[in-house]
């Protein structure tokens, strides 16, 4: 496996695992069930992208938003929800990866636009097929996504990136 492919796979893990990660402070820590931990560990294999990439700034902003989750949001990470997610990701991950790659490759403009275009297309296409047991996780993921896109939009110096992030914050 090439270094470039390894980096891309690590980036998609950060994006697709966002609803399953928590960076907690000791006062607000909620222990994750094993199914949630395995969802994170196995995401790279379940979503084998070749082209799609998550920009570093996006990755760090998403992780910061995850770290800011309160205890109530963290409680969405249940064994039932993560097991349902794992089963769905196993069955659908390769198709999602192909769609992410195709959308990313076909999108124009800077990397920020390619990323938001591909991510939003995948969210819109696949969100309706995700099991009902994951709805609380999806609600938390949307909150993290919206807050991250808002922050990225506010910080973007490039007008195209600012517009891409602004459009993506409410598009899912």
Distance of alpha carbon 14 from alpha carbon 21, whole angstroms:
9
The helix-helix angle for 56-67 and 3-16 (nearest 10°) equals 30
Distance, C-alpha 148 to centroid of its chain: 11
Q: What are the extents of the domains in the chain?
A: 3-171
Full-model pTM: 0.81
List pLDDT tens digits, range 22-79: 344 444 556 889 998 888 788 888 999 999 999 999 999 998 998 899 999 999 999 9
User: Distance between CA 125 and CA 110 in Å, rounded?
Assistant: 23
109-168: per-residue pLDDT in tens? 999 999 999 999 999 999 999 999 999 999 999 999 999 999 999 999 999 999 999 999
């Amino acid at each position: 496996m090439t270094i470039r492919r390894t980096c891309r796979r690590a980036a998609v893990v950060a994006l697709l695992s966002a609803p399953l990660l928590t960076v907690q402070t000791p006062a607000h820590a909620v222990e994750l069930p094993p199914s949630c931990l395995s969802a994170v560990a196995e995401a790279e294999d379940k979503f084998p992208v070749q082209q799609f990439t998550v920009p570093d700034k996006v990755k760090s902003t998403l992780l910061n938003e995850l770290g800011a989750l309160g205890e109530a949001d963290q409680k969405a990470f249940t064994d039932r929800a993560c097991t349902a997610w794992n089963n769905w990701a196993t069955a659908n991950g390769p198709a999602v990866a192909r769609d992410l790659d195709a959308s990313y490759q076909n999108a124009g403009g800077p990397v920020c636009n390619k990323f938001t275009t591909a991510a939003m297309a995948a969210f819109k296409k696949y969100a309706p097929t995700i099991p009902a047991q994951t709805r609380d996780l999806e609600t938390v993921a949307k909150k993290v996504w919206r807050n991250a896109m808002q922050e990225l939009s506010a910080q973007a110096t490039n007008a195209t990136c600012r517009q891409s992030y602004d459009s993506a914050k409410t598009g899912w």
